[in-house]
Amino acid sequence: MALDRWIALVILLICLTYAYTAFFTMDAGLPPFMQRNPIWPSTFPKLLSIGAIIAALAILLGLEKSTQDPSEADIDYTRLGQYKIGQALALLGLMVAYALLLRPAGFIFSTSGFLILGGVILGERKFHYLVPIAAAATFGVWYLVQEVLGIFLRPWPMFLGV
């Protein structure tokens, strides 16, 4: 089965869960005065879930034949092995780490760390360029966001209490 139909299957399962919630569990807590309304909070989700289930089934069952040449796609998953998938996964991991560390470690450390490690993952080894550029960019962005835009970004780690 092609990837797009697998995805349609996953979306179908999500939509079925959504439909179950909309049809059977959502209205339980509805206050009596709202039950007299012609429209309930679940009305629109019910309609959407029916439509989405039909569309997902249409793709899953292959009702619409694709006439497109698969090679036209801008990136081809069948050649996944030739791509640098490791680097992409490492960068995604780095982004998750950044999300978790941004508050506890402060903006300056986590951001310069992110930019340096990101460069290292992609193969940059000239640290005498990489470190100063990352540090300058971090301070520059922090200054812009904090001072010019006035949005608070904790610069230093939490334990320093700044």
Partner 1 sequence: MIEGLLIGLSTAFSIQNLLMVIGGCLIGTFIGMLPGLGPMSIIAIMIPVAISMGDPSAALILLAGVYYGAIFGGSTSSILLNAPGVAGTVATAFDGYPMARKGQAGKALTIAAIASFCGGTIGAVLLMVFAPALSSVALLFHSAEYFALMVVGLSAIAAFAGTGQVAKAILMTLLGLIMATVGEGALFNMPRFTMGLMDLQSGFGFITLAMAMFALPEALFLVMNPARSASGEGSGEIKDLRITRAEAKAIAPVIGRQSLQGFFIGVLPGAGATIASFLGYAVERNLTKGAEQAEFGKGSIKGLAAPETANNAACTGSFVPLLTLGIPGSGTTAILLGALIALNVTPGPRLMIDEPQIFWAVIISMYIGNLVLLVLNLPLIPYIAKILSVPRTYLIPFILFFTLMGAYIGQNNATELLLLVGFGICATILRFADYPLAPLLIGFILGRMLEDNFSRSMQLYDGVSFILERPMTLGLLVIALILVLLPSYRARRAKARQKGVADGD
Contacts of partner 1 in 85-104 (CB under 8 A): 85, 87-88, 91-92, 95-96, 98-100, 102-103
- Write out the binding residues for partner 1, residues 102-141 only, by CB under 8 A: 102-103, 111, 114-115, 118-119, 122-124, 130, 133, 137, 141
Least Cβ distance, residue 85 to partner 1 (angstroms): 6
Least Cβ distance, residue 108 to partner 1 (angstroms): 13
Query: Among 32, 33, 128, 152, which residue interacts with partner 1 (rule: CB under 8 A)?
Result: 152
Cβ partners under 8 Å of residue 153, min gap 6:
107, 142, 145, 146
Q: Is 44 helix (H, G, I), strand (E, B) or coil?
A: helix
What whole-number distance in Å separates Cα of residue 21 and Cα of residue 24? 6
Q: Is 147 in the site for partner 1 (CB under 8 A)?
A: no
Other Cβ atoms within 10 Å of 143 Cβ, number:
12
Nearer to partner 1, 126 or 161 (CB): 126
Q: Is 149 in the site for partner 1 (CB under 8 A)?
A: yes
What whole-number distance in Å separates Cα of residue 121 and Cα of residue 133? 16
CA distances from 93 to 81, 96, 117 (A): 19, 5, 11
Cβ partners under 8 Å of residue 48, min gap 6:
18
Residue 149 near residue 114 (C-beta atoms within 8 A)? no
Nearer to partner 1, 32 or 68 (CB): 68
- Write out the binding residues for partner 1, residues 9-68 only, by CB under 8 A: 11, 15, 18, 21, 26, 29, 34, 37-39, 41-45, 48-49, 51-52, 55-56, 58-59, 63-68
Q: How many residues contact partner 1, by CB under 8 A? A: 71
Nearer to partner 1, 31 or 161 (CB): 31
